[in-house]
Every structure is written in C-alpha cells, then in structure tokens.
Structure 1
C-alpha cells in the first residue's frame, strides 16, 4: 500500500523559527515510529527566515542539524520546490506570526490539500489576543480585566498618552501586564508595577504590534489543558507550570530547568473537570480545529478559574506541554501525530 505523503512545513518568518525546527524534528521522529512508518512518508519543507521555501536535501539537513539556514537575499520567495505538488497532507508546525496566524493556513486552503490544525479564522483569532478575548467574553468564559490599546494612542499624540496611562491605572491598577496582541512565546511582554514601567512597556509593545493588550495581574497557579479533535473534540488531563521567575517570560519558557511541568496538576477533581469543560468551550469559541492548548489561571484561595489564552499551534517537541498532557491521557506521541493527520483528512 502506498504511503501518504506528509508535507512537514517548518521554520518560518518569526522569532520562533528555532522552536519550529525542534517541533518538526520531534514530529518527523514520531512519523518514523511503529505503524506510522508504514502509513506515512515525510517530505520536509523548510521556510527560511527570509521566506524562501526549500525541500529535498536542504530541508532534511536542517531537520538533522537543527541549525537554521544562512539565507541569501537574491532568491524569489514564491518559487515553491517541485516536491510540493506531491504532498497529500500538510503538517504545518510554524509558530508565531506568518505561521499560526491564518496566513499560511489560507495558502494551504488555496492548495486544496488537507492540513493539520485550525483554519484561517481559528488561527487568526487564536493568535490575536484582543479578538480571542472578545470571543471568550461572548462565550461567557471568565477572564481577567483587560484593556485594548492601539499604537496611535501610544505614539501619535503626546497629549493622549498620559490620559491613556491614567485610564489604565484606574481600570486595572498595578501590577499589570502589557502584551503585543499578535505575538507568541511571551515576546514583547512586560510586567509593570508603576507609571514609568507602564510607559516603557507600552512603547516597547508598540514596536512589535499596532495593537496592544493590557491585563490586570492576578496571583494564581498557571494550569493548562490540551484539546484534540474537530467537531467532537476531547480534553486531556490538566497540567501545571511552576517557575521561580517573576512571570512566565521567554527566557523561562525556553531555558531548560527554569520551569517545571506537573502532569497531572495537583488540583481538586472538580476544578480539573471545570478546566476541561472551559477548554472545549474556548476551542469552539474561536472555531479551532485539530489541536489547541488552553491556558488558565487557577486562584486557589477562592476556587476561581480564569481563562488566559488559547494556542492553536503549541510547541510540539516530545517534552512540550501539549504532547506530554496527551501522553498522560494515554495517547502516546506517535499516536497523537497520527490522529492529527487523520483529523486533517476528516475535516478536509
């Protein structure tokens, strides 16, 4: 029986390029294990940091070495490798902007080939924190107080900026978090405790994105749940992240040993069930598909659970939270990858 040709799309034009390579390496390894080896043929397709697509030996070598390609600037971005025409199912594992924000999903949709994960709408809403929180509010999901801010409010009029800061202080108080609306992996995020830090953080976030979100700080445990499926998705056991840094920033997230994962989380069964139910609500609210990781704040003192965000293309190394939560729910990594491909075909 002929093997299904899987286009493993990785790299990309975002700050999470190296994370994508690591995720792709793990997925390629899973597709070479057990029954997957007999059902699937992996065709790696690498997008360099300048947007040029590569397949064949170059893409295989990137996966092998896990080292990004030294890019040239004189090549056309839109000449796809000939191998692309042979791909039967795409497995995009591009994290961040230009990867999980609906842009690549739209391109794959135009190719009329099945692809793993959410479509254009789910991907776009999943990465835009303002659109995401609007959808959560409409679905009745409890969340922290927040304000949406635009770059012109910060940069265009010196008279408006102090009033904006006054409004943020009155609405959210300190500490609060300033975040670019459309970046992943804690890029551009700052925890602020006073007016000077707020002004600096807003200016910095505006350099990353034209839309910014400011959220009230909360003392809580950070817990997560993984979702798998399409129209009848399932939720995994709940996991928890603990760390010693001030918040779960980029360095803490990607430096080995700075954060600890606890799966399953040591929380009451009723709280775990509530988190699982809210995860499925969030998945439906943004029209996600295939996979997502949903992050929450659990305020132990009051028993409150507040939704933080949904990630429609979470980190996918063997040690990442998403596959680990499914492994603890009796879905090992190779089977998880197989199910995602089957869900892609089903949805198509």
Structure 2
C-alpha cells in the first residue's frame, strides 16, 4: 500500500436519494485528512454510468456547485475540474475500481446503493469497503425483512403489516380493511426498500390510507404499514465490527408530524437534542437493544439504530437500523459520536480502519477445496 491510503468515495446513484448522497460525499470529502488519504471521487450518474473524478487538490465547492458539476450532460457524461470532486470525461468500468483505490467508502444511499448491490460489486472486486456487507445491507434496507429478523430476535416493535403492491392493485379494499382491523388509525405507510423517509406517509382515515399506499407503491413492490404509537423518537449510533461502541442517545424533535425527508436534510425546524434527556435505564435499554439489532443482521462498520419511547408507558420499541446513515451537516450519526468524544475526522479514520480489518479477517476464509488438504 502506498504511503497514503487511496480512498475511493462512491456517491450519486440511480435513486431518489441521489442528492442526499451528494451531500454526504461532500461532507466526507471536506473532512478527510489529505496528509493521510489520497481521495478519488467515483460518481454514479443518474443514468447508471460510473465516472472517476480527479483527486482532490484544493478548496471544495458548495453542495449546489457539486450538484451542478456532477449533473449528467448530453451523452451521459459528467463534467468537472481537477480541483473539484466531480466526474471526469472518462467512464470507469465498475470492476476496475480496485486498480484505483485501496479501500472504498460507499455513500450511495437508497436502492442500488446501501441495499447490498454496490457491496456485492466490491466483494467481487475483492476490495475493502466501509460499512455492512451484502447480507446485512440488504436486510437493513428492506424494512419488511428487517422487522422479520427483529421479531425472531425478540426485539420489541410496534405492530405492522407487510403488503405486496400486486395485492394492493388487485384488492385495495381488502388491504385497507385488514389494516384498519389489525392496526387502526393513524398509521404509517412506507416503501420497504427506501431510506431518508422517502415515500412515507401518515394516514388518518381510509382515503388517506389508500393515497399513502399508492405513494409508497411508486417506490417499491413491498410495502410496510405500521401502527402509530405516541412516543418520542430516539436514536443511537453503533460503531465497530465485533467489538462495538455505542454513542450517546439523541432525540429527534420534529417540527412536523414526523421526521420526513425535508426535516432530515433541509432542517425544516427540526431540533436534534444530543444527548437526549431520558432516564439512565432508557439509555441502557437502547444501548442493549441497538447492539442486539446490529448483531442480529450481522452489521459491521457503522449503523444508526432508531427507537420509539412511549414515556407514559415507559416502553421502548425498535423502529429500524440504518446501515449507511448520512454524513450531512444535519445528520444524526456523526453528531452522536462527536458528543461521545469521537470527532468527525477521527470517525472517518476509524471506519476506514474497520473496513481494512474486516477485509483482512475475510481473507482467512478458505475459498477452495484444495486448501482443506
């Protein structure tokens, strides 16, 4: 390995969370220590084309400038300058990434990114990468499957129902009746495979429920409907492979009815209280449930685990695990660890080291029958 670690940052992607990924990538690029790392931006355009930017040499642009610099042009190519982490004119074959970098930090959010797809490509390229592996990424992304695993682990959850888009299209009234009977109103409707609160709606009656189901069905064929619980929204960060560190607990106090995309990435009056003002026994319970959830899906590197706390009944429910949380200025995960005593730059260093350690451990696996002799 060269004196500097060659760090590839894969960002963009073919999903509705493309802009979120740009913001996350920009935050990481601004924070990396260029004395330690040679950073190579690798941009996945909206058309699916992969292009490599020049190594960062100078001041980075604003988020808006980055978005403009990486916008696909006619012919599917990006444009950029040597001083910007933007796309070059030359396409990059996906599996050729390994010749350019030593380790990858993939920050392609949503489908075709944090759901195990890019992780699978990096496995084929035999490259170390930050974050969860193929299985954990896929399970963590699919809310329906994630809830199934959590139920098997005995983690407390609110009541939910899984709905297939095909069933919704063939018998919408039957679907609505089942939800009304088993969950009641209000309830939340979500695409199973989508992050950043994209496609999520709160329904208070059948008309809103059917509309919410149609909205969610635009994003995925698998939908999840959850019962409403009047509770506070608490979040915790987990860092590590097998030896885990948990952050302080934070609270999301949403100005709107729930913590949606606008609140997460544009502020929208949402308050993040770090650390959260909760009793010590709630903190301990969340730490314990978060590590159980992390291990249940075999996560690695990092995850943010979200909870509901019904303070009247003193009941904690796990909501979900996010295996590739955002690193934007509004993102909870780095803020939680900063309050824990691990600042942003150090957090990136630790994640890169965890990626290298996990890859080295994987090299111990026997891959050929002849090696058993």
Classify the TM-score, shorter chain: over 0.9
Aligned counterpart for 2:307 among listed residues 296, 321, 341: 296
Bigger shift: residues 292-301 or 6-15: 6-15
What is the distance in 1 between the residues matched to 2:144 and 2:297?
12
Q: Are residues 1:42 and 2:43 paired?
A: no
Unaligned runs of 5+ in 1: none
> What's the counterpart of residue 234 of structure 2?
223
Shift of 1:255: 2.1
Q: 1:275-311: CA deviations, max 9, x gaps?
A: 0111101101111110000000011001100000000
Q: Is the 8 A contact 1:54 1:80 kept in 2?
A: no
> What's the counterpart of residue 163 of structure 1?
174
How many matched pairs? 341
Q: 1:33-62: CA deviations, max 9, x gaps?
A: xxxx33221111111111111213499899
What is the distance in 1 between the residues matched to 2:314 and 2:126?
46
Q: Are residues 1:119 and 2:133 paired?
A: yes
Shift of 1:193: 0.7
What is the distance in 2 between the residues matched to 1:122 and 1:203?
28
Shift of 1:8: 0.9
> What's the counterpart of residue 111 of structure 2?
97
Q: Is the 8 A contact 2:17 2:196 kept in 1?
A: yes
Shift of 1:319: 3.8
Structure-2 change in CA distance of 1:19 and 1:59 (3 Å): farther
Tell me, what secondary structure is at the counterpart of 1:340?
helix
Q: Is the 8 A contact 1:53 1:81 kept in 2?
A: no
Q: Are residues 1:259 and 2:260 paired?
A: no
Tell me, what secondary structure is at the counterpart of 1:264?
coil
Q: Are residues 1:330 and 2:341 paired?
A: yes
Aligned counterpart for 1:178 among listed residues 168, 171, 189: 189
What is the distance in 2 between the residues matched to 1:70 and 1:92?
19
Bigger shift: residues 139-148 or 202-211: 202-211
Q: 1:201-249: CA deviations, max 9, x gaps?
A: 1122112110000000110000000000001111110000102211112
Unaligned runs of 5+ in 2: 78-90, 360-373
Q: Is the 8 A contact 1:178 1:201 kept in 2?
A: yes
Normalised TM-score (structure 2): 0.87
Tell me, what secondary structure is at the counterpart of 2:35?
helix
1:312-327 residue pairs with structure 2 within 5 A?
A: 312-327=323-338
> What's the counterpart of residue 88 of structure 1?
102
Q: Is the 8 A contact 2:163 2:224 kept in 1?
A: yes
Q: Which has the higher contact order (CA 8 A, sep 6+)?
A: 1
Q: Is the 8 A contact 2:98 2:127 kept in 1?
A: no
Q: Is the 8 A contact 2:141 2:322 kept in 1?
A: yes
> What's the counterpart of residue 362 of structure 2?
none
What is the distance in 2 between the residues matched to 1:16 and 1:162?
31
The RMSD of aligned alpha carbons is 2.1
Q: Are residues 1:67 and 2:67 paired?
A: yes
Q: 1:169-189: CA deviations, max 9, x gaps?
A: 010000001111001111111
Tell me, what secondary structure is at the counterpart of 1:169?
helix
Q: Is the 8 A contact 2:40 2:55 kept in 1?
A: no
What is the distance in 2 between the residues matched to 1:261 and 1:95?
22
Shift of 1:334: 0.6
What is the distance in 2 between the residues matched to 1:241 and 1:71?
35
Q: Are residues 1:307 and 2:318 paired?
A: yes
Q: Is the 8 A contact 1:21 1:63 kept in 2?
A: no
What is the distance in 1 between the residues matched to 2:48 and 2:301?
26
What is the distance in 1 between the residues matched to 2:57 and 2:299?
30
